[in-house]
Amino acid sequence: MAGALLSVMFVAGRASGSDQAEPTYGRLEGDLCLVVGAGAAIAARGPRAAGELRVRYLESSGLFATYEDGWLVGSDSEPKRIMAGGLELRPLFLFRWLRGLEAHRARLDLALDSIGLELGVTASQPAGEAMASRTGLQVGLGVEFPIEPKANGPWLELHGGMRWGTDALAVGSIRDPNDRSAYLTMTLAWHQVVSAHLVDLGDQAPR
């Protein structure tokens, strides 16, 4: 069923693109996109080194995990370290492609379709405390810019939003950046589309 649906989507996308190049730019050469990146996070009281891992299904939804560390760059950031993980939703790609709304300019289309919402949980280490001694919620927005006009390759990424600690969520207590803070990460990442054959699982005959 999933494989048949993807085939219909492919035909519709080709038809909407008319005589121009098929505008997925390699995003449907596989069903998963793997992302590995490194860079910096701008946060309260100082920067942190940042790293990320992301896995996306059909470039539309997926999981993310990030890590930020102020000690690595000698920063006075608060908290000193923070890990986050959760869900990512990028609704524009398949919607625009199926409706033929692409600009047929690779970098512009890829950047627009990269706009995504993020919802996750955090585990942080304030100064003088143990790792994961504080937990909380993260809500963010991301946009990514391809260096080359295709899905696979290096990308520049911006992800930002707000983080709340459990005390702030429970009783509205906000004393310092561990309770509530904004963040912005800037990373250089590599995107690689691979075939995990997840879209074929529904087509396998029962044994």
**Coil vs helix vs strand at 101:** coil
* Per-residue confidence (pLDDT) for residue 143, from 0 to 100: 98
- Whole-structure pTM value: 0.85
Long-range Cβ pairs for the range 131-140 (8 Å, 24+): 131/81, 132/83, 134/79, 134/165, 134/166, 134/178, 135/165, 135/166, 136/163, 136/164, 136/165, 136/166, 136/168, 136/169, 137/163, 137/164, 137/169, 138/84, 138/86, 138/162, 138/163, 140/183
- Tokens linked to 60: 């539309």
Q: Which of 50-54, 127-131, 170-174 has the lowest mean pLDDT?
A: 170-174
Terminal Cα-to-Cα distance of the chain (whole angstroms): 17
Fold (CATH) for 2-203: Porin (2.40.160)
Percent composition of the chain: helix, strand, coil (DSSP 3-state, to 5):
20, 45, 35
Q: Which of 86-90, 96-100, 195-199 has the lowest mean pLDDT?
A: 195-199
Identify the residue whose tokens are 């370290």.
Answer: 81
* Per-residue confidence (pLDDT) for residue 199, from 0 to 100: 67
**CA 191 to CA 173: how far, in whole Å?**
40
- Tokens linked to 130: 């143990």
Q: What is the pLDDT of residues 176-206, one digit of tens each?
A: 999 999 999 999 999 999 999 886 655 554 4
- Tokens linked to 163: 């983080």
Domain ranges (residues) in the chain: 2-203
Q: What is the pLDDT of residues 12-37, one digit of tens each?
A: 444 344 334 578 999 999 999 999 99
Mean pLDDT, the chain, rounded, equals: 88
Single-letter residue type at 122: T
